[in-house]
């Protein structure tokens, strides 16, 4: 098998497993097996960049940041729907459209679909390949968010997606062909934030000093409309498709779209699009009315937010023939659910302590039933938000519950105040350890900066050993709790002081479990310094920022001595990150933890390549940016080549850039380099420099 054939097979295999995992929620291989396939494809594409295609699974990580969104004119209007609010409104709609039918009493079948509360998007495919994605915008013109949509794992880059295990490497089974899509196809759907991911995402934002999103819809919209698609890629967005906008079978004459909406949903599924499994076919209006009542009950048990159902006449040509009222098509209607809001009394505001020490306010409520659930607590996000809304202890407040998401307070009912209400004050000390609370400049969050605070310690440990940080094998979710409660860990560095005898004394810790845990801890000592810096849990310092800092400074020791001004000179490091990093390293307790980690033998400095007499540092003092596809080198190979000769590689073009190494499809970096007068090199010219 040649390289190109192997890459194609790997790409098909990985896309199949992405479909199984993100659309069907039914994986058939382990994460480790998937990772091995992905790494093999990544390595082959890096060695043979000409084989990289836009639909490759490796292209989902995000593209270069945009300066602004381009405008997209939709091939047909992307319309909204008129609303109904109860079964009586539904029957009135049926009566109105009956006047336009050949027989007002003629039998009509319907589809009932969830009215997703996300961001409407329009996807374009040519010859089965995803080529463009846009927001709804004003219904006629939207914004081009193609790079961001590519990062969503459940969006098929090519259709039809293979849905048979026979596409797996080595399988020989025969498969009946899937229906061919039209040569030109435009479909519509909704991007949304799964509810089981939303609260954790918001908590992580607040712990990083960022403002929380008020609801999943805002989170979806804000995530998709990022100029830097790498930000979108880091967020757990997904989508459901539900309609056809335009299509053209071209010269092939294949890819006809069915006339019935229910068949269209099924066809979307066959091609590999994610479609809500909760959609329903209804043979008559009574079925629709019953479905509405059922949906009003089950809305709180779904993993996405809905604010109603969409009712469509199943025969689409008939529905389309009914025309419009204003801009609302007559052939469909949205049945809205009653708002899940109630008024209750705010009894108290308590302080919760997060992993990074954030002191987050939480509301204690007089119990109230909302959507079949008794609510006693609600989120308040931050103290600035409390002050802005003028929420006081003792107020009657409006509480909203959105699906399984923790309820939140919309605001107070000020007219019901009697004068006994108390203003909520910001905490001055940590309620657990008593450490003085700190609010950094220009941040809404307030922190306890004691790294040994018991309330933070368990969560710091969980983060330290997690896969994205030190990746300590055999360190279970409850292990940190047991170790802290047993007094064996007082800070994250104590993980490397654990011994066999102490662990065997814990309940449930037998010889094999202890040996496996200690082996995992010992192996983690070999992690590179970027992992260690990430694991420290410094605000604004994730894996990407950790890499930028250590690429520039070489070691955690050097970083610890840097000033905010020095850090801001590093490409990609802003003032908030610079202050956060230097503040963390200035803390004596944090420095003590660092010394314990150093003494444990962890890597504090990046490995220095062995000197090569054939490669003098001819590029020393020069700063390069790489863009586009180079003839023979991958970007990683070009970066290694430049650094091996003493040069420095950064991620964005600025006045400090000496050279832009540009290949094909160079994009916005080339334009910026030309504007700034930065010298532009080809791969051959780079080699000539050295």
What count of residues does the chain have? 690
Alpha-helix residue ranges (DSSP H) falling in 394-478: 454-465
Does residue 606 carry a catalytic annotation?
A: no
DSSP 216-285: HHHHHHHHHT-SSHHHHHTS--EEEEEEEEEEE-GGGT--PPPSBHHHHHHHHHHHT----TT-EEESSH
Is 168 within 8 Å of 16 (Cβ atoms)?
A: yes
Count of C-beta atoms within a 10 Å radius of residue 659: 21
Cis omega (within 30 of 0) on the bond before 160? yes
Distance CA 151, CA 60 (A): 4
Distance CA 461, CA 92 (A): 59
Positions of E strands within 234-296: 238-248, 280-282
Phi/psi of residue 260, nearest 5 degrees: -100, 135
Distance CA 76, CA 586 (A): 59
Residue among 115, 312, 648, 672 flagged as catalytic: 115
Residues linked to residue 346 through DSSP beta bridges, in sequence order: 365
- How wide is the angle at C-alpha 259 spanned by C-alphas 253 and 261, nearest 5°? 125
First-last CA distance in the chain: 37
Long-range contacts of 662-669 (CB under 8 A, 24+ apart): 662/627, 662/628, 663/627, 663/628, 663/629, 663/630, 663/631, 664/628, 664/629, 665/628, 665/629, 666/627, 666/628, 667/64, 667/627, 667/628, 668/64, 668/65, 668/66, 668/67, 669/64, 669/625, 669/627
Is 642 within 8 Å of 649 (Cβ atoms)?
A: yes
Distance CA 134, CA 73 (A): 9
Alpha-helix residue ranges (DSSP H) falling in 48-173: 87-98, 146-150
Tokens of 680: 């532009």
Distance CA 356, CA 462 (A): 12
Residue 64 carries which DSSP code?
Answer: P
Q: Which residues contact 427 (CB under 8 A, 6 or more apart)?
A: 351, 359, 437, 446
DSSP 360-371: EEEEEEEEEEET
Distance CA 452, CA 494 (A): 11
Tokens of 555: 């070691």
Phi/psi of residue 408, nearest 5 degrees: -135, 155
Is 17 within 8 Å of 37 (Cβ atoms)?
A: yes
Distance CA 104, CA 688 (A): 80
Tokens of 510: 């037998």
Phi/psi of residue 313, nearest 5 degrees: -65, 130
Is 417 within 8 Å of 395 (Cβ atoms)?
A: yes
Residue 19 carries which DSSP code?
Answer: I
412 CB-contact burial (10 Å; exposed 0-12 / middle 13-18 / buried 19+): buried
Distance CA 312, CA 291 (A): 13
Phi/psi of residue 589, nearest 5 degrees: -70, -35
Residues linked to residue 342 through DSSP beta bridges, in sequence order: 399
Label residue 552 left, alpha or beta by phi (over 0 means left) and psi (-120 to 50 means alpha).
alpha
**Catalytic annotation, residues:** 115
């Amino acid at each position: 098998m040649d390289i190109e054939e192997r890459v194609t097979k790997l790409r098909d295999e990985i896309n199949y497993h992405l479909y199984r995992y993100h659309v069907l929620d039914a994986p058939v291989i382990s994460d480790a097996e998937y990772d091995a396939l992905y790494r093999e494809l990544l390595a082959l594409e890096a060695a043979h960049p000409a084989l990289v295609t836009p639909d490759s699974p490796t292209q989902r990580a995000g593209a270069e940041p945009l300066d602004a969104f381009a405008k997209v004119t939709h091939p047909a209007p992307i319309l909204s729907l008129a609303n109904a609010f109860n079964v009586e409104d539904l029957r009135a709609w049926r009566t109105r459209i009956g006047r336009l039918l050949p027989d007002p009493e003629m039998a009509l079948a319907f589809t009932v679909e969830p009215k997703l509360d996300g961001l409407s998007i329009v996807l374009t495919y040519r010859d089965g390949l995803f080529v463009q994605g846009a927001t709804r915008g004003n219904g006629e013109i939207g914004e081009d968010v193609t790079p961001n949509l590519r990062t969503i794992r459940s969006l098929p880059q090519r259709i039809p997606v293979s849905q048979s295990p026979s596409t797996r490497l080595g399988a020989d089974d025969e498969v009946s062909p899937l229906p061919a899509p039209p040569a030109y196809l435009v479909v519509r759907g909704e991007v949304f934030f799964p509810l089981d991911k939303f609260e954790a995402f918001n908590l992580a934002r607040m712990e990083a000093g960022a403002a929380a999103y008020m609801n999943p819809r805002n989170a979806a919209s804000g995530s998709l409309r990022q100029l830097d698609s790498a930000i979108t890629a880091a967020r757990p967005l997904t989508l459901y498709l539900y309609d056809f906008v335009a299509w053209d079978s071209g010269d092939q004459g294949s890819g006809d779209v069915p006339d019935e909406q229910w068949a269209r949903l099924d066809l979307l599924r066959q091609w590999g699009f994610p479609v809500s499994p909760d959609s329903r076919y209804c043979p008559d209006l009574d079925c629709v009315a019953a479905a509405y009542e059922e949906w009003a009950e089950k809305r709180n048990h779904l993993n996405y937010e809905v604010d109603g159902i969409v009712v469509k006449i199943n025969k689409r040509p008939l529905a389309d023939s009914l025309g419009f009222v204003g801009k609302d098509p007559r052939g469909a209607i949205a049945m809205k659910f009653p708002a899940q809001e109630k008024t209750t009394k705010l009894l108290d505001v308590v302080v919760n302590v997060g992993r990074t020490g954030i002191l987050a306010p939480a509301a204690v409520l007089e119990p109230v039933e909302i959507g079949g659930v008794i609510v006693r607590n609600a989120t308040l996000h931050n103290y600035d938000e409390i002050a802005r809304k003028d929420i006081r202890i003792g107020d009657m407040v409006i509480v909203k519950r959105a699906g399984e998401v923790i309820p939140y307070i919309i605001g107070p009912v000020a007219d019901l105040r009697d004068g006994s209400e108390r203003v909520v004050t910001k905490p001055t000390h940590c309620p657990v350890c008593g450490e003085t609370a700190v609010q950094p400049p220009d941040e809404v969050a307030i922190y306890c900066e004691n790294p040994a605070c018991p309330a933070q310690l368990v969560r710091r440990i969980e983060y330290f050993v997690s896969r994205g940080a030190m990746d300590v094998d055999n360190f279970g979710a409850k292990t940190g709790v047991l170790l802290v409660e047993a007094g064996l860990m007082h800070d994250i560095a104590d993980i490397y002081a654990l011994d066999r005898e102490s662990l065997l004394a814990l309940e449930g810790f037998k010889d094999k479990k202890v040996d496996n845990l200690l082996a995992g801890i010992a192996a983690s000592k070999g992690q590179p310094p970027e992992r260690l810096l990430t694991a420290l849990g410094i605000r604004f310092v994730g894996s990407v920022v950790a890499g930028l800092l250590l690429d520039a400074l070489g070691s955690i020791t050097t970083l610890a001595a840097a000033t905010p001004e020095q850090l801001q000179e590093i490409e990609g490091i802003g003032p908030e990150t610079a202050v956060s990093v230097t503040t963390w390293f200035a803390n004596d307790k944090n420095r003590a933890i660092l010394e314990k980690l150093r003494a444990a033998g962890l890597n504090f400095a990046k490995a220095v390549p062995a000197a090569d007499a054939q490669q003098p540092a001819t590029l020393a003092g020069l700063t390069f940016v790489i863009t586009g596809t180079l003839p023979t080198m991958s970007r990683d190979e070009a970066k290694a080549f430049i650094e091996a000769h003493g040069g420095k590689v950064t991620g964005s073009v600025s006045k400090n850039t000496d050279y832009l190494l540009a290949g094909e499809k160079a994009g916005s970096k080339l334009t910026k380099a030309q504007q700034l007068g930065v010298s532009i090199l080809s791969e051959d010219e780079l080699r000539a420099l050295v």
